[in-house]
Chains A and B, each alone.
Chain A
Amino acid sequence: MNNQPNINEQLDKDLVKRVQQGDKSAYDLLVIKYQHRIIQLVNRYIKDPSEAQDIAQEAFIKAYRALPNFRGDSAFYTWLYRIAINTAKNYLLSRSRRYSDYQVDIQDAEQIENAPQLQGRDTPEYLLMNDDIVNTIETVIDNLPEEMRIAIMLREFEGMSYDEIAQTMECPVGTIRSRIFRAREAIDKKLLPLLDKR
């Protein structure tokens, strides 16, 4: 089931076509589908989560405006990915010019990912919250029943598909699906109060 890029690409193509024909609500579906991936991607360039989300939003808006020119030569996500990276790099360049602390030109933009001084710094509050949540998740996983813990760890740490996990654990795919879901539910219950505190 994990090797479904073609099917998902077809879904993306259908949604893109609907947007191009004037259906704005189809774009919401594309945003919901890719928002987290794009925020994660932008966060590699811009460390501050709030700023990263602003830039991710900007990238989605830019992509919407450029959609009439999207011919589908590449997959929608690949195209969106490039827009997000360019938006993040342009933001960092404009910020570096604004503060003029660092001399950056276009060529240097490629190196931004490896330049932490340009990415912004994590605030103490963010670091504290981050540690709190990571510790909570680790504690919940440690206390999970063994079969659930192994299933979620194979999925999250090893990146295995449900089929592969099912073969490894010698049980049906449906069982693996259920175990991973229940593990996530257990973590979510403990995490909800922490995320609400933000």
Chain B
Amino acid sequence: MVDDINQKISCFIDDELKSNETLDLLKECQSNPTLQNKLNRYQTISYCLSSKKVLPIREDFLSNIQQGISKDPLYFSTVNLQPKKSYRTLMALAACVSLIAILILKPSEETPLKVNIVSSSTMAAITTQPEIDQQKTKQKNNPNNRFNDYLQAHNTSLYTNTAVTFQPYTQTASYKQN
């Protein structure tokens, strides 16, 4: 039985153990310091044969590391990461849904607005016809408008306000000469 385990240690050093056997052996070494020492000695022999150098491992090597990390907090990084990921996914999903909702709702909001605008302008057109007439008479009475009307009637001025009455350069020059 002991020989079997020792033979496994020998195979482990040579990377000749299967994954599950390696795990079992490591667990046995963890719980049994004698096996751990055996492993260390086999490794020392192996290294010595290949390099002619002796590098024995201290017996307290593992326990020193255990002491070093004993005060460290337990890490749950994988556990912590998963909620973060799902939280981010949820946020992204929520953002997408809200964006889609905005895109869908936006035209339906604009349509009534347009309707309102059209209806209001139509209503304005209907209700303010007399007002437009009044504005026209006011514009007619305005001295500037009357002046414009005069200039348009004489048809020789550049000071008219529309392109229809814009005169060619020759005519303008002749006007200036006059």
Q: Interface on A for B, CB 8 Å cutoff? A: 1-2, 4, 7-8, 10-11, 17, 19-22, 24-25, 27-29, 31-33, 35-36, 39-40, 43, 49-50, 52-53, 56-57, 60-61, 64-65, 67-69, 129-130, 133-134, 137, 141, 152, 155-157, 161-162, 177-178, 180-181, 184-185, 187-188, 191-192, 195, 198
Contacts and interface: CB of A to CB of B under 8 A. Distances in A.
B14 interface: yes
Interface stretch (B36-44, B117-125, B148-156, B160-168): B36-44
B158 interface: no
Contacts of A69: 77
A173 B178 CA distance: 125
Contact of A180 (B10, B55, B66): B10
Interface of A is mostly: helix
Contact of A7 (B18, B46, B49, B75): B18
Interface of B: 3, 6-7, 10-11, 14-16, 18-19, 22-23, 26-27, 29-30, 36, 38-50, 52-58, 61-62, 64-66, 68-69, 72, 74-79
B65 A57 contact: yes
B74 A22 contact: yes
9 contacts: A8-B19, A21-B75, A24-B66, A32-B30, A35-B57, A68-B77, A129-B54, A134-B53, A162-B11
A134 B48 contact: yes
Which of B14, B43, B46 is the most central at the interface, judged by chain A CB atoms within 10 Å of its CB?
A: B14
A60 B139 CA distance: 94
A192 B41 contact: yes
A30 to B, nearest CB: 8
Contacts of B23: 11, 29
A57 B68 contact: yes
